[in-house]
Amino acid sequence: MEDQDPLLKFPQPSPSIRVQKDMIAVAALERDAELMLRVRDGDTESFTLLLNKHRGPVIHFLYRMVQNQAVAEELAQEVFLRVYKSRANYEPSAKFTTWLFRIASHLALNHIRDSKNERTQDSIDESDDDGRTLQVADRGMTTEQAMVYQARLAEIRRAIRVLPEKQRAAVVMHKYQEMEYSQIALVLECSESAVKSLLFRAYETLRVRLAHMAG
Partner 1 sequence: MSCPIYDESPDLLMDFAAGKLDWESKQRMDVHVSKCAICHEALAAQAMVWKALDEWDAAPVSMDFDAKLYARIETQHATVWGNLKSLLLPATTWFRWQPAIGMAGVGALFLAVFLLRTPAPAVHGDGVRMESHEIEQAELALDDVEMVDKLFAESKGEAQSL
Binding-site ranges for partner 1 (CB under 8 A)? 1-2, 5-8, 10-11, 13-14, 17, 51, 55-56, 59-60, 63-64, 69, 73, 76-77, 80-81, 84-85, 130-131, 134-135, 138, 149, 152-153, 156-157, 160, 171, 174-176, 181, 196, 199-200, 203, 206-207, 210-211, 213-214
**Residue 173's CB: how many other CB atoms inside 10 A?**
26
CB of 124 to partner 1, least distance (A): 15
Min dist CB 12 to partner 1, Å, is 8
Nearer to partner 1, 7 or 116 (CB): 7
Residue 115 or 197 with smaller CB distance to partner 1: 197
For the bound state, the minimum distance from the C-beta of residue 138 to partner 1, rounded and expressed in Å, comes to: 8
> At a CB cut-off of 8 Å and minimum separation 6, what does 102 contact?
186, 187, 189
Q: Which long-range contacts (CB under 8 A, 24 or more apart) does 171-174 make?
A: 171/199, 171/202, 171/203, 171/206, 172/61, 172/64, 172/65, 173/61, 173/101, 173/105, 174/199
Nearest to partner 1 of 17, 147 (CB atom): 17
Nearer to partner 1, 1 or 142 (CB): 1
Q: Answer whether 95's CB lies under 8 Å from 32's CB.
A: yes
Distance of alpha carbon 8 from alpha carbon 193, whole angstroms: 16
178: left (phi over 0), alpha (psi -120 to 50) or beta: left
Q: Which is nearer to partner 1, 81 or 147 (CB)?
A: 81
Least distance in Å: CB of 126 to partner 1?
A: 15
